[in-house]
């Protein structure tokens, strides 16, 4: 089932990727049901098959791909499934090390903290190495900072710390088409911030407080995962900006520049590394 989102939904996602995702959602919402059915019948876009962890010997690669959401509804990773897989691998005594292969712009705030907690929990018993391969932004950055170590591929990027929400005022549009929506609720709080009128100062303050609270949780998670004080996080990881791999390593955002192949090579023999990379390539091809 597709998770629904609205203007007030909280996101931790690279702004360009989020803009594209919201635009696609808006266009889909405006299509008549008949056209949606026709598009589906004609072979419209199909959600990508979720990729599973791949293993060779004692090393396991677990993917963190695409837009992140609790159920993986936007063609990306289910953070709920990721957290469950992480804990299963953590409990498996035959697994010596876990490598998170991240290629994600981030996603919904919902479910991100839980996924990050799973990574931090498992790293207490075995190495969990995260690699931006090639990019890991916002919610993905949140999760990856919880590992034992965090690297970015040579041409990669990380960062985009922050939380975003919003509000859509449709009252002007309704006036133009001669339409008027009246909401009736048990209490004004039940319809606070609704889209059929301008946002009140009180509702805006409430939304800002919620965004600030989630951003504080984001910062606290990075501080815990990277072993630094929360007050130092904005100065190192920024408050929304992104970092190319080399600069991220210099600033201490990551632990260095290293490709996924390099990381796997450090954890496995050359033969095991080749087998594992081949398995991952095949798994990624199946997931498309």
| Structural domain contains residue 151 | yes
List the structure tokens of 64: 């963190």
How many structural domains does the chain have?
1
Return the closest-CA partner of residue 68 out of 116, 121, 122, 134.
Answer: 116
| Structural domain contains residue 122 | yes
pLDDT average, residue stretch 199-223: 93
Kind of pairing, strands 59-65 and 97-104?
A: parallel
User: What digits encode the pLDDT tens for the residues 24-56?
Assistant: 654 444 444 443 443 344 444 444 566 789 887
| Structural domain contains residue 155 | yes
Give residue 216's pLDDT band: very low, low, confident or very high (50, 70, 90). Answer: very high
Q: Is the dihedral of CA 119, 123, 125, 126 positive or negative?
A: positive
| Structural domain contains residue 2 | no
| Structural domain contains residue 58 | yes
pLDDT value of residue 33:
47
| Structural domain contains residue 231 | yes
pLDDT value of residue 171:
82
Return the closest-CA partner of residue 243 out of 256, 231, 232.
Answer: 256
pTM here? 0.82
pLDDT value of residue 165:
82
Domain span at 96 = 11-164+208-287
Question: Between residues 148 and 10, which one has the greater pLDDT?
Answer: 148
pLDDT value of residue 78:
97
Instruction: Supply the CATH number for residue 228's domain.
Output: 3.90.226.10
List the structure tokens of 180: 């008027």
d(CA 282, CA 288): 10
């Amino acid at each position: 089932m597709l998770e629904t989102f609205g203007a007030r939904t909280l996101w931790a996602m690279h702004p360009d990727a989020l803009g594209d995702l919201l635009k696609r959602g808006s266009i889909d919402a405006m299509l008549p049901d008949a056209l949606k059915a026709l598009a589906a019948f004609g072979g419209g876009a199909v959600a990508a098959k979720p990729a599973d962890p791949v293993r060779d010997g004692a090393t396991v690669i677990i993917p963190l791909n695409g837009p992140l959401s609790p159920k993986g509804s936007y063609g990306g990773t289910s953070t709920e499934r990721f957290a469950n897989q992480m804990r299963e691998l953590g409990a498996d005594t035959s697994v010596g090390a876990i490598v998170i292969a991240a290629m994600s712009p981030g996603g919904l705030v919902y479910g991100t903290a839980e996924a990050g907690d799973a990574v931090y929990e498992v790293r207490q018993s075995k190495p969990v190495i995260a690699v931006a391969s090639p990019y890991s932004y916002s919610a993905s950055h949140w999760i990856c900072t919880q590992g034992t170590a965090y690297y970015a591929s040579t041409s990669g990027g990380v960062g985009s710390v922050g939380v975003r929400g919003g509000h859509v005022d449709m009252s002007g549009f309704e006036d133009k088409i001669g339409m008027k929506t009246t909401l009736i609720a048990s209490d004004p709080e039940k319809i606070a911030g609704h889209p059929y009128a301008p946002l009140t100062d009180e509702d805006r303050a409430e939304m800002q407080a919620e965004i600030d609270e989630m951003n504080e949780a984001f910062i606290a998670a990075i501080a815990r995962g990277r072993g630094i004080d929360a007050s130092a996080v904005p100065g190192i990881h920024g408050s929304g900006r992104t970092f190319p791999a080399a600069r991220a390593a210099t600033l201490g955002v990551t632990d260095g520049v290293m490709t996924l192949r390099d990381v796997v090579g450090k954890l496995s023999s050359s033969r095991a590394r080749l087998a594992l990379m081949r398995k991952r390539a095949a798994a990624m091809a199946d997931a498309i």
